[in-house]
Structure formats: C-alpha cells, structure tokens
Amino acid sequence: MADNRAIGVFDSGLGGLTVVSELMREMPEESIVYFGDTGRVPYGTRSRETIKKYASEDEAFLLKNDVKLIIAACGTVSSVASDTSKQLPVPYFEVVSHAAYSAAKTTKNGRIGVLGTAATVKSGKHEKFIKEILPEAEVTACACSLFVSLVEEGWIADDDPVVIETAKRYLKPIVDAGADTVILGCTHFPVLKGAIKNIVGTDVTLVDAGTATANAIKKYLNDNALAADSKSRPHHKFFVSDKPYSFCSTATRLLGKKVNDEDIKQVDLSNL
C-alpha cells in the first residue's frame, strides 16, 4: 500500500535544501514540502527555549500541509530541541544521530571532527552518539556559526578569500587533531564542502548528514508501507518566512535544479 502524502522538511534557512536534494536523489517519486525559517535564521546562536519554540512552530506549519513524516534538517534543532517531536502525530527524523553513526563506522583512526553551530557543539550530541558505537573515539568539535551566514549570503565559492580564511580558522583544531573523518553537522555546511576539503585534505572523509538521513528515511518508508507509488508524479512546495536576497540562485545551486520566484511562497507563522 502506497502513501503519496509529502515528506515535510524544515530548517532555519536554506541549508536544509541539501537534505531535500538527497531525498530527491534517493526517492525521486516522493513529494516534499520544505519550510525554511529565513526570517529567524540562524538558530545556532539562540537559547534552547527559543530554538524549541521555533521548532514547534515549524513543525505545526508542516502538519497543516498534511505531511506523512517530518525531518528536522536543522542540526541545531536535532541537537537541542528534538524532544518537540514527542507531540507529533507523524514519524520524526533528525540529522545528528545518522551522521554520527556514519562517522563512527567510517573512521579508521578513531579521530573524528564535528563542525556545527554553537548550540550543536555545546549539546555534545554528536560525541554521545559516536561513543555509543565507538567508545574509544576522540572527537574534536568546532563551532562554525559564520559558515551559516556565508551560505545564506551566497558566498560559497571554493576560491572566495573570505570563505578560505574563515574555514582555515575554524578547521585548525580538527586538522591539528589528525581527524580522518569530519561530520558536516549543519545542513548549510555541505555547500562549502569544496573549501573544507581543500583544507582538511583529500584523505579525510566528509560525512554529509543529509545523505545519511535520506538513506535512513528511504528504508523506513519502505519498511512501513509509507513509500509513494513508484508511478506517482511528485509535487514539491517551498515555503519561507522571509525571502532573503539571492534566494532563488542559492536554492538552485543547492538543489541542482532551477528554482524560480514563483516556486517560493512566503508565509507568516503568526497566523497558524
């Protein structure tokens, strides 16, 4: 039995589109409703109470769109506010545990780096999940909040001097620690994968939370008879709380497909 309702995805801004891209690649028949809270980005510098409030409002919006499953594509929400999922009437997925487990299985020397927002790093959730599988792992976590701003501004070129210098400063502790695996612990960060790779080196494996999460969701949908009909024509909807400058060009780059102004709808969460 198929379920053609959409998958709901939310994030603090545009970064969650990297998860959407992976979902589209793994499950092209699935419809997706995406909400980017661009009016309140970033979440990573907010208090736990504020992050939980925002997450609950984002989830409520997706439920109004009759989604069959909700993904918190935001690493910050996944780290400090995933308990909001307890009130949801649909299955809920976060991105932290899947990325952590993937990194623990990938590393060869047991040294793992974690890149995240300040709130994500402070939570210690990646390290907790990693050590459930690999107790002897050495985890070096770095808060990289400016990466979010760079992506939201569209400053993502590998050779951009601002990107390069910012990445060098953030990544130094991980390079010094000799990590052979690095988790991109915020959905904005895969957009900067080229610049990050140039600094940590080609021998270091980058773990994309979006890829790990998409694989887990595909298995869950198939195992629980929630997958869409293989012959269905998917319909994708994109919502934001405030249209940022260069949204369409950045979204097009993240998704690998053309996104036009008419594809995006701005909504007011206060009207929920």
Confirm if 121 and 205 have CB atoms less than 8 A apart: no
**Is the predicted pLDDT of residue 231 greater than 70, yes or no?**
yes
User: Residues 34-80: pLDDT tens digits?
Assistant: 999 999 988 988 999 999 999 999 999 999 999 999 999 998 999 99
Rounded Cα distance between 188 and 16, Å, is 7
Mean pLDDT in residue range 237-257: 81
Query: Which domains, from first to last, does the chain contain?
Result: 7-94+211-271 (3.40.50.1860), 96-209 (3.40.50.1860)
Q: Indicate if the pLDDT at residue 176 is higher than 80.
A: yes
Report, as residue numbers or ranges, the catalytic residues: 74, 186
Over 90: is that where the pLDDT of 237 sits?
A: yes
Does residue 177 register a pLDDT over 90? yes
Is the pLDDT at 131 greater than 90? The verdict is yes
Report pLDDT for 248.
81
Instruction: Please give the angle made by the CA atoms of 208, 214 and 219, to the nearest 5 degrees.
Output: 135
Q: Provide the mean pLDDT of the chain.
A: 92
pLDDT of residue 32: 96
Task: Show the tokens assigned to 140.
Answer: 């070096």
Lowest mean pLDDT among 5-9, 57-61, 239-243: 239-243
Predicted local confidence at residue 245, as pLDDT: 65
Please report, rounded to a whole number, the percentage of residues in the chain having pLDDT higher than 70: 99
Which two structure tokens, joined as six digits, stand for 58? Answer: 């984002």
110: CB partners within 8 A, 6+ apart: 134, 136, 137, 138
The predicted structure's pLDDT at residue 178: 98
**For 181-229, how does the pLDDT look when each residue is reduced to its tens digit (9 = 90+)?**
999 998 889 989 999 999 999 999 999 988 989 999 999 999 999 999 9
Contact 184, 206 (CB under 8 A): yes
Instruction: Give dist(CA 242, CA 37) in Å, integer.
Output: 7
Q: Is the peptide bond before 161 cis (omega within 30 degrees of 0)?
A: no
Residue with tokens 């760079």: 150
Other CB atoms within a 10 A radius of the CB of residue 108 amount to 9
With a CB cutoff of 8 Å and minimum separation 6, the contacts of 56 are 84, 87
Could you say which DSSP state residue 262 is in? G
The residue whose two tokens read 């999940």 is 129
